[in-house]
Amino acid sequence: DERLGMIEEILAVPHDFTVDEDMVIKKELLQYPRTASEASERWRKRLKYEMLLLKADKAAGKDESGDSLPPEKRLLRRYQSFVKQMHQTDGEEILSIYLTALTTAFDPHTSYMSPRTMENFEISMRLELEGIGASLSSVDGYTVVREIIPGGAADRDGRLKAGDKIIGVGEGAGGDVQDVIDMKLNDVVKLIRGKPETTVRLRILSVKGDRKIVAIKRAKIE
């Protein structure tokens, strides 16, 4: 990817954080860059700003990722993961993006729901789902446990903790565990969900840095 190559070049150059600079963050106030050098300059400022945020969080003790990589390496990995996920976009998702843009152009309260989106919508309306009872997010290519839902299967099991990274998912008590690093969050969730009383095995990189396999019996979660 050409843009990823540009990002790699920008991150490889030392940045001076003592220089006074400004950048426009409201997209509606921006025009498309007129030249390649203008686009590169915008990316330079954006990446420098993101590096500064990572450095500030680390200095203030607010970095909860547990990642020991320097900010430049972390940013590069983040964008590499983003590019991989964009290449994983399937036809259903592209159709959903297009039809939602089309419907909202006519009516801001109308949108298109793909079968996958509709399934998640019905879960939120029923206020129950079948799975392990963990709220997940995607951070730098990792599926991270954001929260353990009280009373759910993972909460009763007790081994999965907030902040743990799920790096592999396997179905049943035996067999292969599929690597899910850089996999889209929706696809990881689809692997983890399943009928109550069935078992899912999770390969975990814990907040303490150790790796382990956790087998959890799925349940219906309110």
DSSP 8-state class, residue 27: G
- The overall average pLDDT reported for the chain is 88
Tokens of 98: 């297009």
- Cα–Cα separations (whole angstroms), residue 26 to 23, 31, 40: 9, 11, 18
Whether 53 has a pLDDT exceeding 70, the answer reads: yes
pLDDT for the residue 104: 92
CA distance linking residue 141 with residue 80, whole number of Å: 9
Those residues whose C-beta lies under 8 Å from the C-beta of residue 97, and which sit 6 or more positions away, are none
User: How would residue 178 be classed by pLDDT, with cut points 50, 70 and 90?
Assistant: very high
pTM for the model stands at 0.69
The residue type found at 152 is G
User: How would residue 65 be classed by pLDDT, with cut points 50, 70 and 90?
Assistant: low
Q: What is the dihedral of CA 126, 129, 133, 134, to 10 degrees?
A: -80
Task: Identify the weakest region by mean pLDDT among 38-42, 47-51, 83-87, 144-148.
Answer: 83-87
**Element at 179 (helix H, strand E):** strand 178-179
Convert the pLDDT of each residue in 129-157 to its tens digit.
Answer: 788 999 999 888 889 999 999 989 999 99
- Cα–Cα separations (whole angstroms), residue 123 to 129, 130, 167, 222: 6, 9, 25, 10
Question: Mean pLDDT, to the nearest integer, of 66-94?
Answer: 84
User: How would residue 46 be classed by pLDDT, with cut points 50, 70 and 90?
Assistant: very high
What percent of the chain has a predicted confidence (pLDDT) above 90? 46
